[in-house]
Amino acid sequence: MAVAFVGALSAWARAADPPPQAPAPGVALPAEARPPAPAEAATEPAPPAAGQAQAPDEQRRTEAALKEEMFGVARQLLKDLPNDADAIGLMGTVCSIYGDTAGAVTWWQKGLEIDPRRASAYHAMALVARQKADYPKATELWRRAREINPDLQAMYYPYAEALLEMGKPEEAIAAAEKGLSIRPDDRETCLLLGKTYLQLKEYGKAADSYEKARRLRPDESRSYYGLAAVYARQGQTDKARQYTEQFKKLRDEEDRDRVDKRRSTDTQAQMVKPLSQIRAVAGRLYAAHGKLEKAEEHLRRAAALDPRDKVCRQELVDLYMGTGRKRQALTFLEQLRAIDPKDAVYHLNTGALLAALERFDAAEEAARKAIELAPDLAVAYRSLARILLLRNQRLPEAEALVRKLVELEPAAPNYGLLGEVCARTGNLAGARAALERAMQLDPGNEEFRAAYRRLQGKE
């Protein structure tokens, strides 16, 4: 890693708030309207913004171009990676987007011939079976997916829903609970659990599930409807009335929002998001095979199509850092900061890279912003202290920052850093105490021992 003093550039995935993941090849993608991509970032012309008026002929041409681009990506992948099960599965995904479920299933089955342990393919075929109301087939496919990869969280909600349709509420609850154990903030699964417990007349558990869904999204109406039903069944009329009123108010707002969205959404704009995801998956597959130039092309196109997508931008940062192109990496780090300005890690990563580029004023500003947003993020204090040490400025402040660091994270490397900064400020007693603690925590570390010997030579 080019920025040695901060490990934050590899800290994209955080357990408490995982970044959105593009679906694996073999999973049908949603179609969502998105704002227009920045023209300068695109490798090909971006489609018009949602709601932008087009003549019917022009709209048809735009939709046809989007469709051809998506199939073109899939065809080229098959040509370049003919024996890659994920590349084959991606063609199935593209077929499913355009409603060719029979073709999609054929491609997913071909992928399984190469790699029979692709849980995502079984999940995708199960979704097709559920769409046709073939619940026994769907649940059997999900059972096979679960045997291969029990941590495939995306399957548990539709799996539970299909079990409920088959009149198996207890099994539906088990599937839903498994999904929530992997992703506790899955609001749809909370709602489904509430519905299932309500059917079983387990009103306490139903209320708990609906209440959790309400906490996750207080401005969404369905949890209030469920709570109203629970309390009505229990004869608690005042609570039932209260939640019914809240439900009606929120439902009216949602109805207005839906009308506004229909007015502002056109067909070609709905295809931008899945095309962006297909491009991102293609980039990931090319990168896995070491074809970095093609990976970059697809990831940049994905970013251009969806200016709010964080995943493809994170992958571009990784690609550029891995190939030593810091300035290109910085471009996309700055975009990430703009997309989610309240995410401390994006500011931290940007600061680390700016420091590596010797843009110290901007680096310091970014690190301070990270601390402001996340006062308990230990690595942010380490980053800012390192920047001050590199500048050889405000060393007493650097010492205070590292003392906060060891308070938050009393690890050997942090005590080693405290020893270094204390020595720089002339606090030799503090440096000695810090290095002694570092050696206690990591007795085999020769770097700490050498620093301690150098310190003794100064006394």
CA of residue 222 relative to chain centroid, distance:
25
Assigned domain for 52 exists: no
Q: Are 259 and 328 in a shared domain? A: no
Q: What is the pLDDT of residue 438?
A: 92
Q: Are 254 and 316 in a shared domain? A: no
**pTM over cut 0.85:** no
Element (H, E) at 415: helix 412-425
Q: What is the pLDDT of residue 63?
A: 82
Assigned domain for 159 exists: yes
Assigned domain for 147 exists: yes
Residues 6 or more apart in contact with residue 38 via CB below 8 angstroms: 304, 307
Q: Are 54 and 62 in contact (CB under 8 A)?
A: yes
Calpha distance 117→154 (Å, rounded): 17
Provide the domain count of the chain: 2
Q: Are 266 and 313 in a shared domain? A: no
Identity at 96, one-letter amino acid code:
S
Q: Are 380 and 438 in a shared domain? A: yes
For the record, the structure tokens of 156 come out as 């548990």
Q: What is the pLDDT of residue 264?
A: 53
Calpha distance 354→345 (Å, rounded): 14
Q: Are 126 and 159 in contact (CB under 8 A)?
A: yes
Nearest to 189 by CA among 211, 165, 209: 209
Specify the CATH number for the domain of residue 126: 1.25.40.10
Calpha distance 377→265 (Å, rounded): 40
Residue 449: give the domain boundaries. 309-458
Question: What is the pLDDT tens value at each position of the chain, 459 positions in all?
Answer: 232 222 222 222 222 223 333 344 554 433 332 222 323 333 344 444 444 555 667 777 888 888 999 999 999 999 999 999 999 999 999 999 888 999 999 999 999 999 999 999 999 999 999 999 999 999 999 999 999 999 999 999 999 999 999 999 999 999 999 999 999 989 999 999 999 999 999 999 999 999 999 999 898 999 999 999 999 999 999 999 999 999 999 999 988 877 766 655 555 557 788 899 999 999 999 999 999 999 999 999 999 999 999 999 999 999 999 999 999 999 999 999 999 999 999 999 999 999 999 999 999 999 999 999 999 999 999 999 999 999 888 999 999 999 999 999 999 999 999 999 999 999 999 999 999 999 999 999 999 999 888 888 755
Calpha distance 453→353 (Å, rounded): 33
Calpha distance 133→338 (Å, rounded): 43
Q: Which DSSP string do the residues of 311-379 spell out, in sequence order? A: HHHHHHHHHHHHTT-HHHHHHHHHHHHHH-TT-HHHHHHHHHHHHHTT-HHHHHHHHHHHHHH-TT-HH
Give residue for tokens 């996750």: 216
Assigned domain for 32 exists: no
Q: Are 224 and 82 in a shared domain? A: yes
Q: What is the pLDDT of residue 25?
A: 52
Calpha distance 165→136 (Å, rounded): 10
Last residue of a domain, one of 222, 241, 270: 270
